[in-house]
Amino acid sequence: MKKYSPTSPGRRQMTVVDYGVLTKAEPLKKLTTKLQSHAGRNNRGRITVRHQGGGVKKLYRMIDFKQNKLDVSAKIVSLEYDPYRTAFIALILDRDGERKYIIASKNMKVGDTIVSGEAVEMKEGNRTRLKNIPVGSFVYNVELKKGEGGQLARSAGSYAEVLAHENGLTHIKLSSGEVRKVSWDNFASLGQVSNSDHNLVTIGKAGRSRWMGIRPTVRGTAMNPRDHPYGGGEGRQPRGTKRPKTKWGKVTGGRKTRNKKKYSSKLIVKRRK
């Protein structure tokens, strides 16, 4: 982590991730595209997610979550920052001359060689089927459905732990504490996702939130009774309702939101805490 001298009140608490490990290079143009910003609005133009909008311009990097070129070794060309995700990304050049972006692992370095396949060395960054990975190993970018590409453990510092293999299924423990079963024919990458210090970042000032596309949030207790269930009263008032509610009176904070009939519930061995 990088800290600053307190030259202003905003600088006093501000911390940023040390980007010294990254390569000083522009993103590869053919692997970037511009995504239209909808600022939390739906297809009718109505705000469905509040407090979004503004922010600096950014380009989307097209990430290869599948890495389905088997037994073709690839070299890490550069480690780069991605404005659309918390993890760092790596530009790889495979033996066939094709360049792709992938999620970078924690200890990945420029010049390293990685490979995807059935019989690969148990080395960080390599990708193979879950059934080939020893119990106790850390994995990331794990497929939920065969051939769809990694969907689990993709954010900064996250990983899943392989607990067991049985009856064509692998038991994995996620960062949240949830234990679930996944087909052991699905692919996963060995190791842990890069930028594990991301959760230690202190934004420091309101302006930095605005650069990130986050708009101000007004506390419900500061509103009038017509605007929020917590509003009104003389001076600073307590909540006044039994359980936490949204602006629209819907109960939140502890209420289960997962669909009880969801097909994948039978694959969850232990719920997250």
The second-level CATH assignment, the architecture, of 18-199 is: Beta Barrel (2.40)
Instruction: Provide the pLDDT for residue 240.
Output: 87
Find the radius of gyration of the CA atoms of the chain: 22
Q: Domain map of the chain by residue range?
A: 18-199
Q: Is 131 left (phi over 0), alpha (psi -120 to 50) or beta?
A: alpha
Cα 15–Cα 159–Cα 210 angle in degrees, nearest 5: 35
Closest by alpha carbon to 161, among 191, 127, 187? 191
Per DSSP, what are the bridge partners of residue 152?
142
Question: Is the model's pTM score more than 0.85?
Answer: yes
Non-local (6+) Cβ contacts of 122 within 8 A are 133, 134, 137, 190
pLDDT of residue 255: 85
**Cα separation of 88 and 77, whole Å?**
13
Q: What pLDDT score does 226 carry?
A: 94
Residue numbers in the chain where pLDDT is lower than 70: none
- What is the Cα 95 distance to its own chain's centre? 29
CA distance 172 to 133: 11
